[in-house]
């Protein structure tokens, strides 16, 4: 079986919780959970299938007193990572009510960062059931991964994650 890694950050919040939900849906022992905090991005090369868990907005986006977040630090080294032939999917957390014009922008940011590194991007999701104005993560009628809104629709997260993982298992050849 192909080795699958879930790279996520930050720890101890909604992204962490959703990353663990994704891992549970894949089944115990089928994926490795890796917090990006303090990790070398080259670690991604050890995996055939990669899932990225990221939030769109965090304190570092609006508070200049907060330094770089875990993904800022980790992603600064991504240009040296070879993702050629690796299947990569992204789950992004966002708030479609408070930030409807930037809902899950991180899906687009990660796509634009990972695709040029050779990643085969998978796990795109229809917009049905979401209400937003704009998103850098929405292109050609699909989200470039799984949007999760733990702020205004936490009751839908489990179902969305379960459906997405079923799709990913197919995309990943599980």
Q: pLDDT per residue over 75-132, tens digit each?
A: 888 889 999 999 999 999 998 888 888 889 999 999 999 999 999 999 999 999 999 8
Secondary structure (3-state) at 163: helix
User: Two tokens at 170?
Assistant: 């197919």
Mean pLDDT of 50-56: 91
What is the model's pLDDT at position 173?
81
3-state helix vs strand vs coil in the chain, percent to 5: 35, 20, 45
Does the pTM surpass 0.75? The reply is yes
The region of weakest confidence among 56-60, 88-92, 104-108, 144-148 is 56-60
CATH number for 156? 3.40.50.360
Instruction: Supply the range of the domain harboring residue 162.
Output: 4-172
Q: For residues 65 and 11, which has the higher predicted lDDT (pLDDT)?
A: 11
Indicate the number of domains in the chain.
1
């Amino acid at each position: 079986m192909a080795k699958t890694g879930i790279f996520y950050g930050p720890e101890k919040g909604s992204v962490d919780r959703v990353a663990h939900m994704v891992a549970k849906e894949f089944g115990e022992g089928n994926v490795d959970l890796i917090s990006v905090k303090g990790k070398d991005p080259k670690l991604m090369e050890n995996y055939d299938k990669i899932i990225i868990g990221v939030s769109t907005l965090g304190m570092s986006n609006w508070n200049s007193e907060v330094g770089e977040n875990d993904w800022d630090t980790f992603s600064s080294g991504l240009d040296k990572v070879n993702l050629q032939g690796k299947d990569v999917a992204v789950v992004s957390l966002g708030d479609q009510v408070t930030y409807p014009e930037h809902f899950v922008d991180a899906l687009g940011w990660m796509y634009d960062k990972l695709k040029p590194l050779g990643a085969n991007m998978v796990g795109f999701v229809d917009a049905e059931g979401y209400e937003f104005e704009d998103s850098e993560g929405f292109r050609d009628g699909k989200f470039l991964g799984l949007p999760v809104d733990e702020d205004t629709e936490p009751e839908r997260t489990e179902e969305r994650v379960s459906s997405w993982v079923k799709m990913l298992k197919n995309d990943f050849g599980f």
